[in-house]
């Protein structure tokens, strides 16, 4: 019980530091879904899960200085921000990479795909028992959409994509890619443009309450 109580306190601090929530954005409406989306999501091989409130999509006050249209990933806090005008952003909960597998830096969206295929990298195949190729569909771990991150004109092999394991939103268990619920990645896909800048913050640079930089600030809220 003590551990659970500490988690709640830290989560509360994280909400204060991560931006004040103005209003919850509703899950992607039917208008955002294609006929194919509706068919494939109806056949998804997972049960609907209740995403914790902090990791549901929200419009928040945004304190950083990136220009509107930029995507910012705060891996520490498990948030992805799509920057809006007027000091606001859409904040999505995400699954991020395990510490040893995470990537950080500045990239651009090199291409986008609906219901992408998946070809595991050699490194993933060493660590996991996976097929050589998975076709697009609800059984594919890439989910409904993928944004491919490029840096210096080269594919980084990191993606922002959907998932067939929505129960892990808010955790750090992926092989380095940023996972979103399929509904959220469809929403982001419809907003983000080819060539948009993606900033993935390095560990310790985000707003998670366990960062040393933030821990001193959090004392103000005690």
The arithmetic mean of pLDDT across residues 62-71, rounded, is 95
Which of 20, 58, 63, 161 is catalytic? The answer is 161
- Look at 86-90, 117-121, 209-213 and tell me which has the smallest mean pLDDT: 209-213
- Residue 29 — very low, low, confident or very high, per pLDDT cuts 50/70/90? low
Catalytic-labelled residue, pool 20, 58, 63, 177:
177
Q: Which residue did the predictor score with more confidence, 213 or 151? A: 151
Residue bearing the bigger pLDDT, 222 or 98: 98
pLDDT beyond 60 at 44: yes
Q: pTM here?
A: 0.82
12 three-state secondary structure = helix
Instruction: Tell me: pLDDT of 162 over 60.
Output: yes
Q: Catalytic site residue 177?
A: yes
Report the helix count and the strand count for the chain, using DSSP H and E: 5, 12
Span of 17-21, 152-156, 179-183, 214-218 with lowest mean pLDDT: 214-218
Strand order in the sheet with 105-114: 21-24, 58-61, 88-93, 79-83, 71-74, 197-200, 105-114, 145-151, 154-161, 178-179
CB 65 within 8 A of CB 192: no
Q: Band of the pLDDT at 26, cuts 50, 70, 90?
A: low
Look at residue 130 in the predicted model and tell me its pLDDT. Answer: 78
pLDDT of residue 91: 96
Could you tell me where the DSSP H helices lie in the chain? 2-17, 35-42, 122-127, 182-191, 212-218
pLDDT reading at 184 higher than 80? yes
Give the list of residues 6+ apart from residue 148 with CB closer than 8 angstroms, or none.
109, 110, 111, 112, 113, 155, 159
For 185, the 3-state DSSP assignment is helix
Alpha-carbon distance of 9 to 49, in angstroms, equals 23
> Where residue 88 falls among pLDDT bands split at 50, 70, 90?
very high
| Cβ–Cβ < 8 Å for 91, 79 | yes
Active site residue 20: no
Query: What is the predicted pLDDT for the residue at 124?
Result: 80
How many percent of the chain have pLDDT more than 70? 80
Confidence at 6, pLDDT banded by 50, 70, 90? very low
């Amino acid at each position: 019980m003590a551990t659970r109580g500490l988690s709640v306190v830290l989560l509360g601090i994280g909400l204060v530091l991560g931006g004040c929530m103005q209003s919850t954005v509703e899950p992607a409406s039917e208008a955002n879904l294609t006929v194919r989306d509706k068919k494939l999501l109806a056949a998804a091989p997972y049960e609907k899960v209740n995403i914790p409130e902090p990791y549901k999509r929200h419009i928040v006050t945004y304190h950083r200085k990136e220009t509107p249209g930029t995507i910012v990933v705060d891996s520490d806090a498990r948030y992805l921000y799509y920057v809006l005008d007027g000091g606001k952003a859409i904040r999505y909960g995400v699954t991020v990479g395990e510490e040893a597998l995470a990537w950080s830096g500045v990239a651009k969206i090199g291409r986008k795909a609906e219901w992408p295929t998946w070809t595991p990298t050699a490194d993933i195949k060493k660590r996991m028992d996976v097929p050589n190729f998975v076709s697009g569909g609800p059984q594919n771990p890439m989910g409904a959409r993928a944004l491919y991150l490029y840096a210096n004109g080269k594919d980084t092999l990191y993606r922002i994509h959907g998932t067939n394991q929505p129960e892990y939103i808010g955790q750090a268990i992926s092989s380095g890619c940023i996972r979103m619920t399929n509904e959220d990645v469809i929403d982001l896909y419809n907003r983000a443009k080819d060539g948009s800048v993606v900033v993935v913050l390095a560990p310790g640079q985000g707003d998670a309450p366990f960062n040393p930089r933030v821990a001193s600030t959090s004392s103000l809220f005690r």
